[in-house]
């Protein structure tokens, strides 16, 4: 073993280092030659000289070289890909023919069984190991981590001569493999790679996703959305079948253009409580090579619940009357109404309230609140005497707490009296998804009839899905009766989602947004900028009008009813978490009398699919409303068992939560040989395909013997050297100040 130093700088840097060293020597000689210099000044001169020499040495870029002679037999590491993407069936025989292609993993295993590395064993010790998912990370992944495989061989094997990598190159997890490839290249260890697979899509139809709510109510209309991609060389006509076990829930005929992607929906209505295991699938098309990605499955909980809704309005306009009728006839809704009649007394009758709920325990039971053409009492006092009744400042504050903390929904439906504009400055202003023109409080009336036009987001949104598929749904919205009045809206607020706009009217920033949603804390807010939805009944009765408002109520109350029991409710964000998400859990705790328990604490215990347990201490988010919250990152996918215990209130809730795994490892995807070629190039190796395996083995066999192995340490860029220079410069500056020098 030999060790030594080597200077690696260029000629220019060496000349600069010599000049710096010479200047420092001259300055030291000049300082010491002055006989009248005190000891402090002499010490300062030596400190300056030492610092300059250290800087000069750094400019020379010194490296410590340790050369060791290898006495043992060199080693070759063969790494083969055992991940999910290796299940792709796209390897054809080198002789061609009509035989069906085989899977990538089958080709690899066939080569291993043939002991293809036999010719290497005369010169090398050979190890053959698979690599698959990353299991040593905080969040275990199912992807391909090529960097971890290379790093493992580099760190574990001291006399490593070469690495042979059999992979499809679909790197999708861990660090960039270029990191480990660079380290191997520095050690002079080449990486040879064999790309397994095909770099183009196989003839295939892929079902990319199947999505729907995590739960629904009995007899509620549910829309299952699926996305399909066509990798076939022609247009495909096929059908998608949605089923729950052996029961078919619906089937849809679809046409997918060549190299196209489409999203469609199948609607169904569950009639019984329980958990449904749903599967959407398409038949194998003629010429399709992969049927493993022709289906998707998910779970849907079906419950029987009654949603509590409150409508607050200033006068019995047409929109109010038809909206009230629609919700009153909905078997899944318990409706309460507060009507501040302009000239008469407060509205009376079945389900009518005399006043706005004055206590938190009275208001917190409502899942959705509709705010009609009504404003603040203080602002309304300046208007006509008949319109003075409205919301108080305290009412607005309670409503905001209800939405943000208890995950309820709030719907704004303005009117031509323009009373909602008086909410500016109240607690509700921050919840409104749009900015209105205060100078046009009464809105905009047009001669010609306008219509709602769905945006790209609204075309596939569950809230606006009035038909069974996107194309028919678009036609339905175009055929709906229009309106001649709409609110004066400048723009949607940042963070809002615009589902529909005016088909002709434009504002300062484009077409006027009329159907807008946004999240507010734990809850949701919807703004309907026109009051003519009641006209949708024309010619079709309640088909679309009832369906729309029924979907609004259920969509807005969805998160609030994720899990609940007597006096306790648990909801979380996001509502459909994925592995690795940090989930915010919120719990509403009520006492025995039904009032929010202000200063309670609760413990949420989660048991993951592998049996490990985590506890989250939920603490008060707002003591007036009894809402507790806490966060936890979910590291596993599958079904979590959750136990919420609030001992102080004597409340307990047991439920489950589904956590999905991000699908990063797919079968049927093209191989990615680019990263394999780059690894080989960086390390001085060679890259090829399955047909080049024997040639690559021969190239490894002919590698020159490596009797000596060098390891280099770059001293000039080590942290300790930089730290030492900083310390010396600091000491030099302090010494000059101490000696009275400027």
Determine the pLDDT at residue 1: 55
Q: What pLDDT is recorded for position 293?
A: 84
pLDDT at 135: 44
Is 486 a member of any domain?
yes
Fill in the DSSP letter of residue 94: T
**Are residues 210 and 150 part of one domain?**
no
145: in domain: yes
**Residue (of 457, 458, 460) closest to 468 by Cα position:** 460
Q: Decide if 351 is inside a domain.
A: yes
- When comparing pLDDT for 88 and 334, which is higher? 334
Kindly report the backbone phi and psi dihedral angles of residue 515, in degrees, each rounded to the nearest multiple of 5, phi listed first: -125, 105
Domain that holds residue 54: 2-69+714-738
In the predicted model, what is the mean pLDDT of residues 335-341? 90
Q: List the CATH number of the domain containing 98.
A: 3.40.50.410
Q: Rounded mean pLDDT of 480-492?
A: 93
**If residue 385 lies in a helix (H) or strand (E), which one and from where to where?**
none
- Average pLDDT value over all residues in the chain: 86
Rounded to an integer, the average pLDDT of 573-594 is 83
Over residues 512-540, mean pLDDT: 92
Give the CATH number for residue 629. 2.60.40.1930
Average pLDDT over residues 399-428: 91
Q: In what order do the strands lie in the sheet with 295-303?
A: 215-217, 295-303, 274-281, 236-244, 247-256
Same domain, 58 and 112: no
What are the tokens at 340?
């501040």
Residue 383 has pLDDT above 50, yes or no: no
User: Do 246 and 378 reside in the same domain of the chain?
Assistant: no
Lowest mean pLDDT among 124-138, 242-256, 338-352, 641-655: 124-138
- Residues with Cβ < 8 Å from 479, sequence gap 6 or more? none
Return the pLDDT at 384: 46
Judgement on whether residues 286 and 327 belong to the same structural domain of the protein:
no
Residues 465 and 530 in one domain: yes
Same domain, 491 and 545: yes
Output the CA–CA distances (angstroms, integers) from residue 41 to 33, 51, 726, 728, in the order listed.
12, 15, 21, 16
Q: Is residue 108 packed enough to be buried (19+ CB in 10 Å), middle (13-18) or exposed (0-12)?
A: buried
Based on the fold, state whether residues 177 and 225 are members of the same structural domain.
no
Does 647 fall in a domain? yes
Whether the per-residue pLDDT at 369 is higher than 90: the answer is yes
Q: Please return the burial class of 354, using the count of CB atoms within 10 Å of its CB with bins 0-12, 13-18 and 19+.
A: exposed
**Is residue 589 domain-resident?**
yes
Identify the domain boundary among 505, 530, 561: 561
Listed residues 532, 561, 590: the one ending a domain: 561
Provide the pairing of β-strand 75-81 with 125-131: parallel
Give domain status of residue 199, yes or no. Answer: no
* 111 and 258 together in one domain: no
In a domain, 665, yes or no: no
Beta bridge partners of 622: 627
pLDDT digits (tens, 9 = 90+) for 77-106: 999 998 888 888 888 765 544 467 788 999
> Which helix (H) or strand (E) element contains residue 692?
none
Q: Is there a contact between 207 and 282 (Cβ–Cβ < 8 Å)?
A: yes
Question: Within 10 Å of residue 575's Cβ, how many Cβ atoms?
Answer: 15
Residue 579 and residue 503 share a domain: no
- CATH number of the domain residue 425 falls in: 3.40.50.880
- Regarding whether 267 and 165 lie in a shared domain, the answer is no
pLDDT at 275: 87
Residue 548's pLDDT band, with cuts at 50, 70 and 90, is very high
Which is higher by pLDDT, 739 or 326? 326
Q: Number of folded domains in the chain?
A: 5
Written as six digits, the tokens of 727 are 């310390």
Sheet containing 708-714: give its strands across: 2-7, 62-69, 708-714
The CATH number given to whatever domain includes residue 261 is 2.60.40.10
Q: What is the pLDDT of residue 387?
A: 45
Secondary structure string (H, E, C) spanning 497-564:
EEEEEEEEEEECCEEEEEEEEEEECCEEEEEECCCCHHHHHCCCCCHHHHHHHHHHHHHHHCHHHCEE
Asked if 280 contacts 209 with a C-beta cutoff of 8 angstroms, the reply is: no
Q: Are residues 103 and 218 in the same domain?
A: no
How much is the pLDDT for 155?
A: 87
Mean pLDDT, residues 338-342: 82
What pLDDT is recorded for position 99?
61
Assigned token pair, 67:
């050369």
The average pLDDT across 190-204 equals 90
Q: In the structure encoding, which two tokens stand for residue 679, read together?
A: 């690894």
Q: How confident is the model at residue 705 (pLDDT cuts 50, 70, 90)?
A: confident
CB atoms within 10 A of CB 269: 11
Instruction: Give the model's pLDDT for residue 643.
Output: 93
Calculate mean pLDDT across residues 272-296: 88
- Positive or negative, the Cα torsion across 113, 198, 140, 156? positive
In a domain? residue 666: no
Nearest to 346 by CA among 307, 322, 374: 374
Q: What is the pLDDT of residue 343?
A: 67
Question: pLDDT tens for residues 65-80?
Answer: 776 655 678 899 999 9
- Domain shared by 266 and 214, yes or no: yes
Q: Which of 28-32, 214-218, 267-271, 588-592 has the highest mean pLDDT?
A: 267-271
Contacts of 109 (CB under 8 A, 6+ apart): none
268 has pLDDT over 60? yes
* Domain boundary, last residue among 508, 533, 561: 561
């Amino acid at each position: 073993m030999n060790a030594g130093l080597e200077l690696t700088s260029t000629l220019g840097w060496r000349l600069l280092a010599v000049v710096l060293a010479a200047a420092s020597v001259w300055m030291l000689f000049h300082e010491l030659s002055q006989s009248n210099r005190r000891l402090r000044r002499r010490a300062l001169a030596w400190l300056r000289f030492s610092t300059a020499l250290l800087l000069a040495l750094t400019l020379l870029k010194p490296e410590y070289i340790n050369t060791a002679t290898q006495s043992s037999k060199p080693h070759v590491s063969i790494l083969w890909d055992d991940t999910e993407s290796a299940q792709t069936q796209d390897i054809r025989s080198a002789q061609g023919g009509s035989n069906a292609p085989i899977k990538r993993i089958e080709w690899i295993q066939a080569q291993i069984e043939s002991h293809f590395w036999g010719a290497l064993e005369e010169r090398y010790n050979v190890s053959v190991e698979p690599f698959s998912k990353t299991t040593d990370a905080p969040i275990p992944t199912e992807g391909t981590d090529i960097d971890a495989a290379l790093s493992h061989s580099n760190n574990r094997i001291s006399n490593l001569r070469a690495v042979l990598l059999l992979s499809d190159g679909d790197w999708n997890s861990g660090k960039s493999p270029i990191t480990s490839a660079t380290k191997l290249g520095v050690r002079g260890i080449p990486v040879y790679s064999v790309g397994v697979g095909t770099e183009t899509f196989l003839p295939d139809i892929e079902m990319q996703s199947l999505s729907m709510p995590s739960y629904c109510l009995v007899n509620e209309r549910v829309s299952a959305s699926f996305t399909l991609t066509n990798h076939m060389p022609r247009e495909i006509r096929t059908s998608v079948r949605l089923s729950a076990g052996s029961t078919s829930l619906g089937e849809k005929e679809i046409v997918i253009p060549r190299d196209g992607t489409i999203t469609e929906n199948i609607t169904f209505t569950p009639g019984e409580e329980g958990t449904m295991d749903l599967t959407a699938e398409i038949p194998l098309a003629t010429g399709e090579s992969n049927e493993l990605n022709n289906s998707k499955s998910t779970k849907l909980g079906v419950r029987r619940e009654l949603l509590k809704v409150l409508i607050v309005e200033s006068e019995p306009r047409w929109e109010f009357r038809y909206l009230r009728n629609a919700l009153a006839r909905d078997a899944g809704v318990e409706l309460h109404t507060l009507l501040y009649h302009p000239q008469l007394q407060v509205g009376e009758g079945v389900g009518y309230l005399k006043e706005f709920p004055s206590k938190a325990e009275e208001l917190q039971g409502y899942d959705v609140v509709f705010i009609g053409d009504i404003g603040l009492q203080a602002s309304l006092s300046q208007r006509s005497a008949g319109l003075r009744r409205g919301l108080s400042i305290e009412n607005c504050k309670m409503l905001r707490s209800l939405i943000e903390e208890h995950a309820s929904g709030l719907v704004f439906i303005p009117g031509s009296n323009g009373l909602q504009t008086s909410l500016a400055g109240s607690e509700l202003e921050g919840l409104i998804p749009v900015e209105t023109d205060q100078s046009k409080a009464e809105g905009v009336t047009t001669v010609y009839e306008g219509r709602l036009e769905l945006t790209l987001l609204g075309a596939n949104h569950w809230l606006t899905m009035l038909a069974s598929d996107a194309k028919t749904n678009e036609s339905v919205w175009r055929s709906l009766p229009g309106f001649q009045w709409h609110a004066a809206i400048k723009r949607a607020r940042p963070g809002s989602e615009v589902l529909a706009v005016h088909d002709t009217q434009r504002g300062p920033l484009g077409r006027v947004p009329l159907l807008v949603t946004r999240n507010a804390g734990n809850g949701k807010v919807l703004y309907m900028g026109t009051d003519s939805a009641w006209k949708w009944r024309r010619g079709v009765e309640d088909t679309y009008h009832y369906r729309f408002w029924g979907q609004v109520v259920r969509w807005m109350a969805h998160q609030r009813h994720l899990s609940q029991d007597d006096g306790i409710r648990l909801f979380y964000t996001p509502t459909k978490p994925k592995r690795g998400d940090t989930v915010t859990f919120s719990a509403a705790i009520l006492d025995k009398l039904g009032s929010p328990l202000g200063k309670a604490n609760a413990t949420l215990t989660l048991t993951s699919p592998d049996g490990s347990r985590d506890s989250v201490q939920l603490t008060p988010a707002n003591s007036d409303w009894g809402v507790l919250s806490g966060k936890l990152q979910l590291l596993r996918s599958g079904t979590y068992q959750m136990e919420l215990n609030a001992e102080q209130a004597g409340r307990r809730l047991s439920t489950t939560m589904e956590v999905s795994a991000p699908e990063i490892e797919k079968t049927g995807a093209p191989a990615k040989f680019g990263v394999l070629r780059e690894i080989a190039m960086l390390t001085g190796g060679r890259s090829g395909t399955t047909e080049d395996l024997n040639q690559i083995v021969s190239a490894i066999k002919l590698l020159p013997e490596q009797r000596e192995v060098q390891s280099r340490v770059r001293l000039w860029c080590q942290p300790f050297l930089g730290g030492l220079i900083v310390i010396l410069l600091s000491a030099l500056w302090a010494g000059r100040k101490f000696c009275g020098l400027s």
